[in-house]
Amino acid sequence: MVLQPGPDGFYHPANEDEIRALIERAVREGRKIRVRGSAHSVNASIYTQDTALPAHDEPGINVFLDRLRQVAFDDERMQVTVQAGCNLGRDPADPTQTSTVENSLFYQLDRKGWAFPVTGGVMHQTVAGFIATGSSGGSSWYSVDRNIVAIRLMDGSGHVHELRRSDDPSDPFFAAGVSMGLLGIITSVTFQCVPRYAIEGKEITATYKSCEIDLFGDGRDGKPSLETFLRETEYTRIMWWPQPGVEKAVVWQAGRLADPPATFRRKPYHVFPTILGKERPSQIAASVLFRLFDTLNPPGPASSLGRRFQPVFKQLYKVALNGFLASGIKGPQRFRDTWWQGLPADDRIDYHLIPTRFHEVWIPIARTAEVMATLREHQRTYGFAATGTFPVEIKPTARSDFWMSPAYHEDVIKLDTLWFARNPSDPVADYYPQFWELLKPFDYRLHWGKALSGDVAYLRKQYPRWDDFMRLREQMDPHQIFVTDYWRSHLGIAPAHSAAGHS
């Protein structure tokens, strides 16, 4: 029986045989085939066409692996093998409404007494989607990449590859770790786990002057430099608000509590101030305010109304944001939590209320002071045109051996320039290009699931194994069924009939 798309337009295979049938159909009919994870990445990077959901008459084959969520434990090795469609945590936006806390990987690991060494800022991603985009957490101590043991995927000819970590840096395993879905469809991943732990930490909001970190220098007045802080802190993330008249940093940091007792009591972290114990009222207020501010936001072509009211906008913004951040200045927020509920610190944000677009540059951590000073000077020169109204999220990530990881062979500082998605301007056209040009001297790489520059020549120079990856991609997907227009343009992939195969 031929697998048909569901009412949502997606194909929902239940096993590898059905995935193979879809791949063979894509080859036979000259279609593209792509897999949706949690749709946390840029839409055009996910689907066969630039659309939020596939249409029934769309020529591409859009796949959803919600029927592949099984988890298997290897007690002897403390390893877990997870089918690709399993979510790390519950996905509240799962269109099938089958993602639950109980069938999530992190919940099952914690019940087993195991853990991941680190998590991302949110945990609704699927296992395959998380690793395929090179996603990571906020730690230079720990890495998910290093704990991936095996990847099972089906290539563009329907052949299954069981790729396992080895000592050979040229092993295809290291290409499959961050593959953007271009080598094949991942069906399962095996991870090396660690014993369960808890975390304990604090968050402090500070002005540049009162911050316990020298944000822009090499360390002074007994303060560590930002690079030193990122290297020496187990888990951290900083929300940097560089706007004129604001200039504050919200510093979140945590460390492990090994072997938490059965009587361990959570004291969860709150992203937003609570009202009657709830964060939602603050998120609603923030959504309304950012909608108002971004109607008059200077970046990009401003309307005549926007130009007229910019002075008023700037004053209102400074007053409102400083008031919002004031609660954090009164004293540190202290928290303690389980590893899987505490490390994804942004998981409590309602992205329907505060929709966000992302642009993340990864820069060698040794250049932290230089890049921060460069950005600060740029912001002070151009004001809101260089800061927007959202913060810059700062995190460290440990080096990776995966060829296309933005952290390939480098500990990095990640700078995620956030953008309120209801802003009428287009950040890819009107905002992000200034950073792509400004930061070129720092040899940046970009997060593959977030906004990309389209500067293939520049990005190619940053990845020593770029050409090796492209050659392997040609072998594993000779018909280019996984190569959409989006990936063709952003990676410079020539059509399949070309002998070059890539630019």
Taking only the tens place, the pLDDT of each residue in 411-443 is 999 999 999 988 888 999 999 999 999 999 999
pLDDT at 237: 97
Element (H, E) at 429: helix 427-430
Name all domains of the chain by residue range, CATH numbers in brackets: 1-195+465-503 (3.30.465.10), 198-453 (3.40.462.10)
Q: Which one, of 156, 139, 267, lies nearest residue 201 by Cα?
A: 267
Query: Taking the model in full, what pTM does it have?
Result: 0.93
pLDDT band at 308 (very low <50, low <70, confident <90, very high): low
Binned at pLDDT 50, 70 and 90, residue 114 comes out as: very high
Distance CA 178, CA 493 (A): 17
For residue 230, the number of C-alpha atoms closer than 13 Å in the C-beta half-sphere is 27
Cα separation of the two ends of the chain: 41
Q: Do the strands 33-36 and 61-64 form a parallel or antiparallel pair, or are they unpaired? A: parallel
Dump the DSSP string for 159-173.
-EEEEE--S-TTSTH
Nearest to 226 by CA among 238, 235, 210, 234: 238
* pLDDT band at residue 501 under the 50/70/90 scheme: very low
**Percent of the chain residues topping a pLDDT of 70:** 93
pLDDT (mean) for 296-324: 66
Instruction: Provide the 10 A C-beta neighbour count for residue 49.
Output: 17
pLDDT band at 53 (very low <50, low <70, confident <90, very high): low
- Max alpha carbon distance in the chain (Å)? 72
In whole angstroms, give the CA distance from residue 407 to residue 400. 5
Side chain identity, residue 234: E
Residues 397 and 143: their CA atoms lie apart, in Å, by 7
Q: How many CB atoms lie within 10 A of CB 326?
A: 12
Question: Average pLDDT of 248-253?
Answer: 97
Instruction: Look at residue 110 and tell me whether its pLDDT is greater than 80.
Output: yes
Inter-residue contact 115 to 194 (CB < 8 Å): yes
